Amino acid sequence: KVRVGANQMKTKVINSTLTPVWNQNFEMIVDSADGQFLYIEVLDEDPGNKDDELGRVSFDLSKLKDVGFADEWLPLEDVKHGMIHVQMTWLWLINQS
């Protein structure tokens, strides 16, 4: 799951691998980066049962707004090991001059 504020999107399910690659793009409109975070939850889907959380990450979008682009390996939180690779671009929807 990928979430910013009330915007939430779900990736496709990758079956039968310990090294999943999603390679998906998401676009979300963010009114203000200040105080906003990108949250990603990595889950093990269990049809008929509750999905198991494998880890999660958060990224402060104010950092992205300042640089415009980020290509990061983010460590999964609250687990022994694991990382997720994300590439993010901040696009202004209005002229900043």
- CATH label of the domain that carries residue 67: 2.60.40.150
Residue 95 forms part of a structural domain:
no
Q: Are the beta carbons of 59 and 37 closer than 8 angstroms? A: yes
- The boundaries of the domain holding residue 20 are 2-89
Across residues 6-15, what is the average pLDDT? 89
**Digit-coded pLDDT (tens) for 16-71:** 877 888 889 999 988 888 889 999 998 888 778 887 888 999 999 999 998 999 99
Q: What pLDDT sits at residue 73?
A: 96
Residue 96 has pLDDT above 70, yes or no: no
* Number of alpha helices (DSSP H) and beta strands (DSSP E) in the chain: 1, 6
In the chain, the number of structural domains is: 1
Nearest-CA neighbor of 75 among 90, 46, 54, 51? 54
pLDDT at 95: 67
